[in-house]
Structure 1
Amino acid sequence: MPRRPKHPRLPNGYGSIRYLGKSRKNPFAVHPPADIDGNRPPAICYVDDWMKGFIVLTAYKAGTYTPGMEATLEIPSSASSKDLEALASRLMADYNRVKGIEPEEPEKTFTEVYEAFYANKFPEGHKYSNATVRVTQAAFKNCKSLHDKIFRALRSEDLQATLDSCPLKHASLEHIINLYHQMYHYADGQSWCDKDYSKFVKIKKEDDDEHGVPFADDELRVLWKNVQDETAEMVLIICYSGWRISEYIGLEVNLKEKYFFGGMKTEAGENRTVPIHSAILPLAERRMAKYGKLLPCSQSDFRADMEDLINRLGFPNDPKRTPHDCRHTFSKLCEKYNVAENDRKRMMGHAFGNDITNRIYGHRELEDLRKQIEKIKVNL
């Protein structure tokens, strides 16, 4: 598939023209210059041609733009794209000379974008844990094949190839994808990329994090004593609801009816309902009131925060404790307090295998499941 033509790079402080996809009638978003913090303002307008966007920006910079003028613009059909882009380049060169702007800097490499992003995210006195810093650094090191490449020239296949070639476990690949997302978000605000290609990258390797070590009863008691710690709070929510960490991102939280709904990864895991255990209901209410969701950070940041928590509380960390240990804790609690096996499978999103009766004909009401999950006791 041929790539879209590469348009001239706009000077710093000129604004930006973003391509939003061919499915749109007007796929080019025209934005004023970013603010002092690098945040892009809302679009001035949307147009069907890059050159129209450039004309709008030029008028905007000159103070002659009027809302709706883009609808009256016509690009001569006889003009070639090469001629139009040459004209745009000359106009921008004139703009730079009039403004006394030095010739534009060379395009940023992946490493240069990372270094700028890293300095922005982790300034002196930042609030992030050492574990979060380490996983960010490790993710960058695992992208070595991209380090010297021009960031703007990268495409999703380049990012995907680097991810596919990484021999590390699923959790490490998640860190790489998270780094991709954060770097593109930062680069977008600096006009260092034309599109967020990270959103098309997927982990193709089988998830190898299904193993885990459940928390012991005395460890759960320590977590409850430290429930004011936000990381401990989230760990307890997972321990008493059993979802995978990735599932909390898009999870529906119904506080009125007191249940979670969502799921992913497997057919059995999709669209499942889990009642909110009464012990964690106040925790879920607090997080929803504060953040509007249960997990306000990325998976990799939470993994790093959890590792820091485990070390601070003095829990054994060999093998390394992960959010999946919380899911194993929920399964262990269900067994300990005699939650019906079929309901445990339903709530955890496990398949029923050859049990056709439960797989096809097993239907349970929310209150039936609530009676089962409330069997689990919290021993402080």
Structure 2
Amino acid sequence: MAKRKKYPKLPNGYGQIKYLGKNRRNPYAVYPPVKEFDENGKAIMSKALCYVDDWMKGFAILTAYRAGTYTPGMEKELNCDDTDSANASSVVQRILADYNLTKNGRLGQKTFEEVYNDFYDYKYERDKSRNYSVASKNSTRAAFKNCMILHKKPFADLRHKDLQEAIDSCKLKHSSLELIVSLLHQMYEYAIVYELVDKDYSTALKINIPDDDEHGVPFTPEELEILWKNRDNDIVEFILIMCYSGYRLSAYKNLEVNLVESYFKGGVKTKYSKDRIVPIHSGILPLVEHRLSEYGCLLPQSNSNFRCKMYEIIKELDIGCHTPHDCRHTFSALCEKYGISNNDRSRMLGHSFRDITNKVYGHRELEDLRAEIEKIQICY
């Protein structure tokens, strides 16, 4: 028995042609592209457009549907055996005519804006598994607005250079560009799941400007000495912990503290920052133990206005103007001053690696990092 001929896979978003089995007059069912999904995100199949006796007829129907020229019953007019017209069957002629309409007119292709609207509805409206904050929704909308150069382009035609151009041409700050990159990653993840594209062109995107969110002024050695002399003050105590561990202020609210093995674990903002491990420097270990004993955590609810209290105490101690983020810069400066390797400094600060060797193959044990951080000397 001759095997049934295999046909090529249809492009994403083209529709489906299903073989229903032999002994049927019209064994191929032709379905339009999926446009609706249930509450779980599963595709809802539409009613078949028609049933045909040849796969090529089905392909011609879908091409016409995509080009906007399909009319019910047109499959009866197609003949795969008609070779009287320039040695081409009516099916082939039909496919070529409709394909040219689709290619040149971009009919049937969703634009970037349309895919974004579908994605936004999928993430924020249909997904009831979690509640997103207003800030999250606003950030997503802002990221979309800031890549206007892509809005009217067919999503399936976009390539890496188009996405990178949208980032490079945006004159906003690093943090705004981060939101655009994040949006593109999420949209391509959505588009692949729903077969709008075959490949994720957002994977290698780069932000080609310095991270301007990291500006700050480290505490000077003289200022640190003043802080250490006043470490019995509750606010100063926490300032010192931040200066010798390098996390962002918001990270300390949920930071894991392991006193048995003496390390912090946690972080916020990026995948490189989150869940990173920083050994607890022996100099601040008593301060950490005291806070855990006193409050059960590093940053208690009573310190909810820590920023204001910090400004008050450093003014009282006659120390120059500093923000909580300056503590992170102080840690970085101390690492540099006492010869901690750049790679370990980046690991403990949660910075990303641009080189493949460190990004993929760089691994350090806790004790390796502890040996590095203990190079920092505390003089008071």
TM range (shorter): 0.3 to 0.5
The TM-score with structure 1 as length reference comes to 0.44
The TM-score with structure 2 as length reference comes to 0.44
Which protein has the larger Cα radius of gyration, Structure 1 or Structure 2? 2
Structure with greater contact order relative to length (CA < 8 Å, sep ≥ 6) = 1
